[in-house]
Amino acid sequence: MKPLKVNSIRDVLLVGLLLLCFVASGCGQGAEQTGNEEAGEDIVVTDGLGREITLSQPAERILTSYGIATHMVFALGAQDKIVGYDSPSRNNAFFNKLMPELSNIPTPGSPAEFNLEEAMALDPDLILVPGRNMELVENLEEKGLTVFGVVAEDLEQLKDSMLNLGKALGREETAQEFVNYYENTLQKVKERTENIAEEDRPVVYLVGPMGLLSTCSSEMYQHHLIRLAGGENAGGELTGGWVEVSPEHLIEWNPDLIFVVQYTADTSPESIMEDERLQGIKAVMNKQVFWFPSTLNPWDYPSPQAVLGLYWAASKIQPDLFNDLDMQAEADQFFQKFYGKTYTELGGTLD
Amino acid sequence: MSIGVGLYSLPMEVIFELVSCKLTNRAVPSELFSPSVVFWSVRLPRAIMALLVGAVLALAGTVFQGVFRNPLVSPDILGVSAGAGFGAGLAIILVGRSALAVQSMAFIFGLAAVVAAYQIGRRSRSDSVTVLVLAGVIVTAIFTAGLSFLKYVADPYEQLPAIVFWTMGGFSDIVWKDVYWTLPVFIAGTAVLFFLRWRLDLLSLGDEEALTLGVDVKKMRVLYISASTLIVASSISTCGTIGWVGLVMPHMARLIVGPNHQFLISFASVLGAIFMLIIDTLARTISSGEIPISIMTSVIGAPFLAYLLLRQEESNF
């Protein structure tokens, strides 16, 4: 570049104007901090809806209206960029432990509703919303905001989202590490479970959010999780989302294991063990009824910690194939790597 | 019959065998262990609960229609269900999942809803039977909004599933414990209504006529409404909101035995019990999952209300 010659008032004004534009567009600090992005070169990422999003520099003020997106931001170590987040996450003990000042940050929305004015007042340069809410995506875009639709219904989409989000937030390295970790784990689990014959797959009944008699159909992530971990989903013949079944189903299916999600209602492994109706079921007779970890965050749906849920499920469903796995140590390692504190330090347990 | 059909097949001879084992105190053969559990611990309590709930809902509906002298009302139309749902949600958020707190709050708010609907209806200058129904719509709207608000502020991981779980209900998760808990309430409420059934005829003549016949109208009305609301709230707290039964069954009964409450009350209850058992049996056998019971009752009940509205002037009240 040729150095600018300042030899007239007009030139001084021109440079001033250029500087003003530079500052106004917010380039200055961000570019310096991340360093590896050259000023002026746009960042182009693809969101979960397949839309291309262009940023002039990594986002510095992010607003998330979706719990899973908030999780992604934390896993990428970019939580200090949050200027607003989803209201259901306000009481999340895990987030608050990692970032005590979170409680002072506004929560302008949730996946269900969104306060547009409050959101705009926060002046975010990137808004993360659930990708399934097309209406919100379009609405925000019309207002001139930059929107990233997060879609993570399975592990593939989760990896994609993490990569693209990592790029948008200037955390590409972390995102890449995350994806590598996922691919390694998936590879390890797949190698051991892929060729298990149908008849050798233990039947797993997963207790869903609506109590003992709700379970996951074949269309849910949890179904694939059980398959991947070397089991057979008891409700695998059903369709829909979370489905209601009768106790007769449970007795008929006679599952070898029962997993209970953390966010269920009025059910616990203890209540299942004591349920007179279930005394003849293999899982109860062999005491194979467990909370699906973790005590910090549920690992049974596709959030950044889902990979640990896969490991855990595999170690319960196929204990002989995964007897080399120390779950607590694995979780500690993962948490240390992506959250800077071990799982144990944060108070997480596996029961 | 209902006990025999279902996902887990239980042939009649197996049921006979199981019952005779129980009667003669013999141990159940090991190959019949699962059928025995299905029969004694799943299907029997469920069938009994369906019979009971059907009976009390129809009973409460009959009483409401008599007390308010209005063929278009029932506990759910006057807002009892919405009020009870709100009360239960409030209890879950404020107190936690204690069964006693949830049930009593459900009762209190269920009662508050009827009283509110009745007061709105009474103060309206119009005397039409639809005014009370509209008052019920208003009260229901308020409590439904209240419940939505509670869901909004509820903790999404702990309280929200509990509230949704509670308001959904159904018979699929009924165990003996539920029968033991609700039975005393059902018996108490039903006894009050049953022994006072003859006065319902007097009340349905209208306040002035009833007064001249020496009935303390106010006291009676409070008693009837409280007892009905109690059994409805108790049924809601075990099986969730089951609409339309309380509205439709009294009419069917009236078509068969006429408007005399002496017989109407018992007959409507029996009819309600049978209806509910049939509906629940269908709900658990039609598809591979469980069809929510309120879908089934609405499909039958809503068109019936339309029919009633259309022939309202011929009503025998």
pLDDT at A205: 97
CATH no. for B50-312: 1.10.3470.10
Report the residue from A248, A264, A280 with minimal CB separation from B33: A280
Q: Please indicate whether residue A73 or residue B151 has the higher confidence score (pLDDT).
A: A73
pLDDT at A35: 44
Report the residue from A244, A249, A266 with minimal CB separation from B7: A249
pLDDT at B275: 92
Read off the pLDDT of residues B165-206 as tens digits, 9 standing for 90 and up.
Answer: 777 767 888 889 889 988 999 999 999 998 888 888 887 777
Q: Please indicate whether residue B250 or residue A27 has the higher confidence score (pLDDT).
A: B250
Report angle CA B177, B181, B185 to the nearest 5 degrees. 155
Residues of A with CB under 8 A from a CB of B: 88, 91, 112, 209-213, 237-238, 240, 243-249, 251-252, 254, 262-266, 275-277, 279-280
Residue B316 scores a pLDDT above 70: no
**d(C-alpha A205, C-alpha A50), whole Å:** 34
Average pLDDT of the segment spanning B96-124? 88
Residue B235 scores a pLDDT above 50: yes
Report the residue from B38, B164, B290 with minimal CB separation from A251: B38
- As a whole-number percent, the residues of chain A with pLDDT over 70 amount to 89
Element holding A62 (H helix, E strand)? strand A62-64
Report the residue from A238, A244, A279 with minimal CB separation from B37: A279
Which positions in chain B touch A245 (Cβ < 8 Å)? 172, 289-290
Read off the pLDDT of residues A329-341 as tens digits, 9 standing for 90 and up.
Answer: 999 999 999 999 9
Which positions in chain B touch A237 (Cβ < 8 Å)? 288
Residue A263 scores a pLDDT above 80: yes
Which positions in chain A touch B8 (Cβ < 8 Å)? 248, 251-252
pLDDT at A18: 54
**d(C-alpha A128, C-alpha A184), whole Å:** 28
The region of weakest confidence among A105-109, A169-173, A278-282, B124-128 is B124-128
First to last CA, chain A: 62
Which positions in chain A touch B292 (Cβ < 8 Å)? 244
Residue B310 scores a pLDDT above 50: yes
Task: Check CB contact under 8 Å for A247 and B42.
Answer: yes
Task: Check CB contact under 8 Å for B6 and A246.
Answer: yes
| Rounded (to 5) percent helix, strand, coil in chain B | 75, 0, 25
Residue B311 scores a pLDDT above 80: no
Q: Please indicate whether residue A112 or residue B222 has the higher confidence score (pLDDT).
A: B222
Please spell the DSSP secondary structure of A165-179, one letter per residue: HHHHTT-HHHHHHHH
Amino acid, single-letter form, for residue B236:
I
- Best residue of A246, A267, A278 to probe chain B, by most B CBs closer than 10 Å: A246
pLDDT at B87: 92
Tokens of A171: 């955390």
Which residues, 6+ apart, have CB-to-CB distance to A220 below 8 Å? A241, A242
pLDDT at B30: 77
Average pLDDT of the segment spanning A316-345? 94
Please spell the DSSP secondary structure of A238-286, one letter per residue: --SSEEE--HHHHHHH--SEEEE-TT-SS--HHHHHH-GGGTTSHHHHT
What are the structural domains, with CATH classification, of chain A?
A: 41-177 (3.40.50.1980), 196-339 (3.40.50.1980)
Task: Check CB contact under 8 Å for A263 and B157.
Answer: yes
Give A14's pLDDT tier (boundaries 50, 70, 90).
low
* Mean pLDDT for chain A overall: 87
3-state SS track over A214-247: EEECCCCHHHHHHHHCCCEECCCCCCCCEEECCH
Which residues, 6+ apart, have CB-to-CB distance to B292 below 8 Å? A244, B168, B170, B283
Element holding B278 (H helix, E strand)? helix B261-285
In the structure, how many helices (H) and strands (E) does chain B have? 14, 0
| Cβ–Cβ pairs < 8 A, chains A and B | 82
**d(C-alpha B64, C-alpha B73), whole Å:** 7
Give the CA distances from residue B210 to residues B122, B127, B205, B219, in Å, rounded to whole numbers and listed in that order: 17, 19, 6, 12
Tokens of A299: 């690992």
Residue B1 scores a pLDDT above 70: no
Nearest Cα of chain A lies from the Cα of B292 at a distance, in angstroms, of 8
**So where are chain B's domains?**
50-312
Task: Check CB contact under 8 Å for A280 and B34.
Answer: yes
pLDDT at B216: 79
Nearest Cα of chain A lies from the Cα of B6 at a distance, in angstroms, of 8
Report the residue from A88, A245, A264 with minimal CB separation from B161: A264
Read off the pLDDT of residues A30-56 as tens digits, 9 standing for 90 and up.
Answer: 444 444 445 567 899 999 999 999 999
Residue B14 scores a pLDDT above 80: yes
Q: Please indicate whether residue A254 or residue B210 has the higher confidence score (pLDDT).
A: A254
Residue A179 scores a pLDDT above 80: yes
Average pLDDT of the segment spanning B50-57? 94
pLDDT at B285: 83
Average pLDDT of the segment spanning B245-274? 90
Average pLDDT of the segment spanning A191-198? 93
Q: Please indicate whether residue A216 or residue B201 has the higher confidence score (pLDDT).
A: A216
**d(C-alpha A122, C-alpha B17), whole Å:** 72
Task: Check CB contact under 8 Å for B284 and A244.
Answer: no
Residue B246 scores a pLDDT above 60: yes
**d(C-alpha B20, C-alpha B216), whole Å:** 52
Average pLDDT of the segment spanning A309-328? 94
**d(C-alpha B145, C-alpha B132), whole Å:** 20
Q: Please indicate whether residue A2 or residue B245 has the higher confidence score (pLDDT).
A: B245
Please say whether the beta carbons of A58 and A168 come within 8 A: yes
Q: Is B4 on the interface with A (CB under 8 A)?
A: no
Which positions in chain B touch A211 (Cβ < 8 Å)? 161, 165, 173
Q: What's the CA dihedral at B4, B6, B11, B12 to 10 degrees?
A: 0
Please say whether the beta carbons of A145 and A54 come within 8 A: no
Q: Please indicate whether residue B271 or residue B99 has the higher confidence score (pLDDT).
A: B271
The region of weakest confidence among A90-94, A284-288, B161-165, B226-230 is B161-165
Which positions in chain B touch A247 (Cβ < 8 Å)? 38, 41-42, 172-173
